[in-house]
Amino acid sequence: MARKFLKRITPNADFVKNHPSLQRFAHWLHDPNLWHLNRYSASMAMFIGLFSALVPLPSQMPIAALWAIWWRANLPISVALVWLTNPITSPPIYYASYKLGNKLLGRPPQELHFDPSLDWFLDQIGHIWQPWLLGSFCIALVSGALGAIGMRLLWRLQVVLRWKARQKARACKH
């Protein structure tokens, strides 16, 4: 069920491995564990992808790819989950991170008058970076852990359901 769906939406491993722009990374991309779907690779990919998406770092996709290679997690899932944060979802996620960071630091949130410009961001970053990064790190860690645990539980549930279905099918034959 989940495995078939994930296999269907992930790109073909041979296409990615042989892509001209990725040839300098080919020796890393030929590890079969990066493309194989099992409980470990899928749950680690969930953790890596969610964590990478929710920590405000530049180059989130290459970071997620490097972590997936390092921990031998499923590469396509790790990289795809980074797109959880995009221009539409980032502002509410980062605002919630900022508010959580202030709460954890015991500070009252600063009144922000948002202006979508680089000047506003550069002017405000000195005031908001500590609670924003702390909140982002905490949300990323909890979300990544919950995603990994959830993936393992769903995987286990699927295995148990298939096992019971096979037992039932065997019982019907006799």
Residue 119 burial (CB count, 10 A): 8
Decide which of 128 and 33 is more confident.
Answer: 128
Residue 39 burial (CB count, 10 A): 15
For the stretch 95-147, pLDDT in tens is: 899 999 999 999 887 777 777 777 877 888 888 899 999 999 999 999 999 99
Residue labelled with tokens 């949130």: 109
Residue type, 156: R
pLDDT reading at 11 higher than 70 = no
- How high is the pLDDT of residue 128? 87
- How high is the pLDDT of residue 60? 94
pLDDT level of residue 8 (50, 70, 90 thresholds): low
CA dihedral (70, 74, 79, 83) positive or negative:
negative
Nearest to 144 by CA among 21, 51, 27, 30: 51
- Give burial (CB, 10 Å; 0-12/13-18/19+) of 1: exposed
- How high is the pLDDT of residue 84? 94
pLDDT reading at 59 higher than 70 = yes
DSSP track, 59-109: SHHHHHHHHHHHHT--HHHHHHGGGGS-TTTHHHHHHHHHHHHHHHHT-PP
